[in-house]
Structure 1
Amino acid sequence: MDIPIAKPPLTIRLCGPRGFCAGVDRAIQIVVLALKGYGAPVYVRHEIVHNRYVVEGLEAKGAIFVEELDEIPPEHRQQPVVFSAHGVPKSVPEDATARNLFFLDATCPLVSKVHKQAMRHQRLGRHVILIGHAGHPEVIGTMGQLPEGTVSLVETIEDADVYEPADPDNLGFVTQTTLSVDDTAGVIKRLQERFPNLTAPSADSICYATTNRQEAVKQAAPGCDLFIVVGAPNSSNSKRLVEVALRAGAQKSMLVQRASEIDWADIGDIATLGLSAGASAPEVIVNEIIEAFKARFATSLELAEFSIENEHFLVNRELRPIELTTEDMAWVNG
């Protein structure tokens, strides 16, 4: 008779908050509501959020993702086109208007706030320093709010050391919303040391969700043999969580999109697992990963809760009459 092998014990520290922020939830709702209200296809310029599960789920419902507006065929120009949560340069809605497209802007309101802060700096005669990652859609969108030559990108402390503005006494800064809080503080400090008259934005540019998720990971990481962050490799806020976990004391940290990506042979002997999810990662995948560990370990769950989020952003006015049910979002909410 086979004697069952006892599963090794494992404590899972589940971070809270984790996963979808209000801006991501709103963006996905916009696509779902547009499909319900106007029928398929609904076009989406770029990934609505940085998560393949979400993108593929919306494609299955009738969304078509395009890189540029000229990919939308003439016969579908009356169908909605949605701009991603990361924001777009001013030239994109101008192009959509010129093409007589019906567009819905899903830019996160907190990203829009950064746009307004940058434009205010520029309107008041300040050259704008944007702290962020080159090539990220949010950075492209923010820089695209301003006339060419009025904004400079600074990524690191080293960049801040060598930056030479034309007028050092007339500078204002904003930041990408999904940066490492600690890294960004270092860049700002160096810029302020070099340019004492540097003007800060009227409110912190790094969004509440980024800050909350990083703080929860900082609390949970000490003593973790492994820390898993659910998120996509092109998700800035998810990658920052991996870095935060390592700095806060996790022995090892990794980014995974699905449970199928976990290399179980590489996991080794672990007693404590930290688990969080980037702001564009759905709860259904967090549950999937917990179940994968339950199949291999005798698990106990601890909640490492930093704060409770209750923010909610309204969808576009055109979509508010359309009813959104719990069932419509069950595929991502778990």
Structure 2
Amino acid sequence: MTDKKDKDINESNTRRDFLKKAGAASAAVVGTSVLGAPAVHAASNKKIKWRLQTYAGPALAEHVIKPSIDAFNKVANGEMEIELYYADQLVPTGELFRAMQRGTIDAVQSDDDSIAAPVDISVFGGYFPFASRYSLDVPVLFNQYGLNEIWEEAYSEVEGVTWLGAGSWDPCNFATVEPINSLADLKGKRVFTFPTAGKFLSRFGVVPVTLPWEDIEVAVQTGELDGIAWSGITEDYTVGWADVTNYFLTNNISGAWVGSYFANSDRWNELPEHLQTLFKLCMDSSHYYRQHWYWGGEAHLRTSGTKMKLTSIPDAEWATVEAEAHKFWDEIAAKSERNARVVKILKEYSAVMEKAGKPYRCS
């Protein structure tokens, strides 16, 4: 208990010191702007420093973002340095968007859904049920089917935050303490998952639970959670969840998580063009790394992993879940004209993939 209390005090002090420094920095910016700060800043030629917080804990961040930030800091050659912070380290994930708007932090890597982005299309971030079958579906939808333009339009209506781009992560499967072999087995299961995914899964009796990311492993051990629907098997092994769950359900509700990079608009616009370009190149590097890390990891751990037993719900029964997802799509489309455009694109894309057949779709 003493160790935990000391840890809580240290974390509280870290956040308090951070907020004090952030407040002082904000006051300094306000004061100097009155005196014509841009010219002073240009003349000082000081290193630019950013604080970026990711949705991921330390073990996961080693793969999903840290290599690209390390590369950025190296290639920036002393002109700029990005300090990387992990899930809930400075700001709770659900408050990240507002903190970024205020300038408390400079940039974020997360999905729109988890950070409560105040845009109608935020529901499509994270795991929108059955929107993708494979990880490559996400960049194709954004770059070839018009989602980039829709996201840019949505965030242009929000003060203080610039959306920089999206990429794909892993599928959404269940990792559970007890085996799941039918939809009936999901009823009453308390599961950690994403907001929109949780709303959808509740139709099948799942009880969505929201907890800080770092508390999930202990919550499973104490029985507060019956399972996790937050990732594929690669993350289950990487972050330690495979050590506290016994079964992995091969059926997934989405083939890839949709995550994005965001920045405080003032801080982004202050960057010279070459540093903006470098940041986006490092984003692309991170997207590429995840494509092969997850794709290979999912197959390897399903076939060679020793910590979790694989279970499956029969295809015919799982088809009813996909059918319900399409009803869910229509309900989301009815909420706004822009949501309707996104759903229309998802339907068109799905039809093209089905018509194309193997290897795009196998059924």
Question: Does TM, scored on the shorter chain, surpass 0.5?
Answer: no
TM-score by length of 2: 0.27
Larger relative contact order (CA 8 Å, sep ≥ 6): 1
TM-score by length of 1: 0.29
